[in-house]
Structure 1
Amino acid sequence: MDTKWLLDFVALAEERHFSRAAARRHVTQPAFGRRIQALEAAVGTPLVERGTSPVTLTGAGRQFHALARGLLAQLDEGLELVRGEENALETPIRVAAPHALASRLLLDLLQAGAGGCRTAVEVMRVDEAAEALLDGRIDFVLGFDVMALMAPPYRHLALGDGHFLLVSAPGSAGKPCFDPRVSSVPYLRYSADAYGARLIARHNADAGLQLAPVFETSMCQLLAEMALRGQGVAWLPDALIEHELAAGRLAAVAPGILRIPYQVRLYRSPARQGEAAERMWASLEARLAGNWRLLAPWRAQLADADPA
């Protein structure tokens, strides 16, 4: 198998057009097509769906794309080591996370696992992150329960769990200034396509609450900022607002009752990653085996049912 075939295939997977990929690789389109066919013959299975525009990869093609990127990254690292270059092993660990987890939690993860290695972080929607992982454009996805990635051949580490809590700015005596169990209150809600909206719907968490929507977004951080400004109540993951809860800048409404469990996982493809990414995965596996957790539920008030 020729290394240039791997470079050709990665270019095709990224460009999604034979003509653009051929131009990027500085070869004619017929020659480029023959090289892709030679690669498929060497692999022993079709990697590209013919007749689609833009080009799409087969299931095997998606897996091979991740493998090809990993092999090329390892080759680059090895060549840098042989040459004695100072930046050897500097291929960054590529991590994607949704807005809800692109916070202190993500930084804590990188500090615990990356060991000072270069990292590149992409903030994207969960479905986009899953697609990027499937395509081999990133090494890891930090996310909630991503069903498409929880089944083999993909692998994941359970990093910890927590709760979405219904919170508002505090009123008198530190209690929430809004209580939708008692009267209608302004509701800061997720867009319908956001993970938070799907989670709330799955648990029917809004049932019995008097909520009047006044603001909508897919971004947890904006909901948190609106809640901090006293604009209403919002369901927010405790990992995002832990410090605000501890400082009394946000107050949870009946946290012993109004809470939705979630888990945070780190996902990866089955293909071997670059050396730095593999070390990070192994380091996190070892820490988890020793009962380390990246996060745990915010428990300061969970025993208090906070009756109206």
Structure 2
Amino acid sequence: MRNMRLEWLDDILAVADAGSLARAATMRHVSQSAFTRRLRVIEAALGQPLFERRRKPLTLLPEVAPHLPAMRSLAAQLRQLRDGLSQSGGARGLTLACQHALTTTHSPAIVVALTAGQARPVRVRSENREDCLLRLLAGEADLAVVYDVPQIAPLALGDAFERASLGPERLIPVAAPGLPRGEDLPYIGYPGDVFLGQVMDRALLPRIGSTRRLRRCAETALTLAAHEYARRGIGVAWLPVSMVRDDLARGRLVALAPEVPELDMEIWMIRLPRAERGGWDADWHGLLATLSLAPPPSL
């Protein structure tokens, strides 16, 4: 489709996603009559009909529907281009690479600190630990926030990075209150090629006593998924205290330690040395002081 505009794409996609003209107009924050006029303007500008109006609800014509994936992709690209151009004359945005679990538990406080009094946007990338560090080295991230367990899965940083501790975190076993806890205990595992999978294989599972047998009933690389599986009574999940504190307080989950082993970890914020950093050089110590106000992960 020639001469396509971002707002036209958004209008067309709203019709496809909403299921009715009224809901699509609401999604686009205009009245139904104004939205109808906009759709006719789009068709007139493109020189071809796009919508089936003979039946209700309003839908895309069959020959238009196959182009929806391309429209979504183009809309995303145009939006990114627009945002990039709008920022080119001012302070550039920041990119924060976060280990997956930390994206959920700690990145909100970090984003609050990074955006306080600033007009620059913050882009958060959720990655495995090694990928966070690779993004820093490649200049694709300004900061990384990751876990460290020196005795099990140490961070091999050397002089390549500058780092500071954001405090401790504890990985604890939790389960739904009704989960049977006999000799055969079902649990939710993490793949061996991700950080928490390595931690479980090297530091937690070997510490299970001989009187208990753990049975892996599910596996996921995502702590958010493991959290939900535990809440639904599928099995025991090892999760950061900061992720499950509210569930423990409300009785939706119970902690199984010391009956089942837990593990202390450290949270590190990392950046490249000054000589290798790009355009971002905010008040590192001020940022760390702000973030150190977070409560410790004790129960």
**TM-score bucket (shorter structure):** 0.5 to 0.7
Once residues 86 and 222 of structure 1 are traced to their aligned partners in structure 2, the CA distance between those partners, rounded to angstroms, is 35
Q: CA deviation at 1:215?
A: 0.6
* 1:225 is the counterpart of 2:232: no
Cα distance between partner residues in 2 of 1:235 and 1:256: 13
Look up the match of 2:173: 166
Secondary structure of 1:278's counterpart equals: coil
Q: Which has the higher contact order (CA 8 A, sep 6+)?
A: 1
Is contact 1:114–1:280 with CA below 8 Å preserved after alignment?
no
- Compute the displacement of 1:229 (Å): 0.7
How far 1:278 sits from its partner (Å)?
Answer: 2.2
Q: CA deviation at 1:92?
A: 1.0
Give the CA deviation at 1:271: 3.4
Question: Normalising by the residue count of structure 2, what TM-score does the alignment of the two structures yield?
Answer: 0.61
Matched residue count: 205
Distance 1:149 1:120, change over 3 A: farther
Deviation, structure 1 residue 129 = 1.4
Structure 1 residue 242 displacement after superposition: 2.0
CA offset digits 1:50-89 (Å, max 9, x no partner):
xxxxxxxxxxxxxxxxxxxxxxxxxxxxxx9xxxx99754
1:1-308 alignment, distance < 5 Å? 89-115=90-116, 116=118, 117-145=120-148, 147-148=154-155, 150-171=157-178, 177-179=179-181, 182-206=182-206, 207-208=208-209, 209-255=212-258, 258-271=261-274, 273=277, 277-279=280-282, 281-287=284-290, 292-299=292-299
> Does structure 2 conserve the Cα–Cα contact (< 8 Å) formed by 1:99 and 1:124?
yes
Farther-moved stretch of structure 1 (255-264 vs 230-239): 255-264
Aligned counterparts of 1:128 and 1:263: Cα–Cα separation in 2: 18
The separation in 1 between residues aligned to 2:125 and 2:228, in whole angstroms, is: 22
Using a 3 Å threshold, how does the CA distance of structure 1 residues 286 and 214 change in structure 2: closer, same or farther? closer
Q: What are the Cα deviations for residues 23-69 of structure 1, in whole angstroms up to 9, with x where unaligned?
A: xxxxxxxxxxxxxxxxxxxxxxxxxxxxxxxxxxxxxxxxxxxxxxx
Gaps of 5+ in 2: 1-84
CA contact (8 A) 1:205 1:260 kept: no
Secondary structure of 1:110's partner?
Answer: helix
Change (3 A) 1:136 1:271: farther
> Aligned in 2, Cα 1:86/1:214: closer, same or farther, shift over 3 Å?
closer
* Residues 160 and 235 of structure 1, relative CA distance in 2, 3 Å threshold: same
Q: Which structure's CA Rg is the greater one? A: 2
